[in-house]
Chains A and B, each alone.
Chain A
């Protein structure tokens, strides 16, 4: 069975500090996808990134960057120069292809609090 672990339940930083969110996953599939979603205080879930298991290149999007390491089954997320608007709960998720189709398994989430 697939599993996603976000060991950090809450991280508190001061604005402009960098913050890294850890995500470790377990899967028996060789083909899978990893995701990050953001849930701001308003409650909606916002899709941030999708990464497939064959692409280990790191990705940067503005102040966000992601580090995928298959060798350690990790897909970590870094926010550079954090801002108050980054305060949210962040979820890592894993999709495995099954006979019934693709389903997402979510980690428990990491709450990020950015203080001014």
Chain B
């Protein structure tokens, strides 16, 4: 089984709808991240969480919110989706305890289309 899973893998929605993307991990890592990928722009950080009680905004947090329900679960919400949020979304995890906490391991991605 995959260490980092994302649901759904694909989603098409309409402008104005509320969408939640979910991420679960079995790696036992304490840190979790949400990124979006747009062509030519690489990955940009939306939010990150270093433990259950810690939530931080990333480079492009406007229009997004997150919830860290447990160490293993980190959800990303689009309260009112708009077309320019159409992108590939990745969840990632890293482990502070190993000292290589900046080595991030990624989920398979969620392709979101907002019409």
Contacts and interface: CB of A to CB of B under 8 A. Distances in A.
A64 interface: no
Interface in B23-62: 31, 33, 40-45, 48, 50, 56, 58
Contacts, number: 61
Given A9-B40, A100-B56, A101-B31, A47 B103 contact: yes
A37 B92 CA distance: 13
B106 A45 contact: yes
Interface stretch (A65-73, A74-82, A105-113): A105-113
A45 B42 contact: no
Interface string A50-89: 1000000000000000000000000000000000000000
Contacts of A4: 42
Interface residues of A, number: 24
Nearest to A6: B42
B65 to A, nearest CB: 18
Contact of B102 (A9, A100, A102, A108): A102
Nearest to B94: A102
B104 interface: yes
Contacts of B111: 43
B42 A107 contact: yes
A62 B40 CA distance: 28
B24 to A, nearest CB: 16
Given A33-B102, A47-B103, A108 B40 contact: yes
A109 B43 CA distance: 9
B50 A45 contact: no
A4 B59 CA distance: 15
A50 B40 contact: no
A43 B40 contact: no
Interface of A: 4, 6, 9, 33, 35, 37, 43-45, 47, 50, 91, 93, 95, 97, 100-104, 106-109
12 contacts: A6-B42, A9-B40, A33-B102, A35-B103, A45-B90, A45-B106, A47-B104, A95-B102, A101-B50, A102-B102, A104-B104, A108-B40
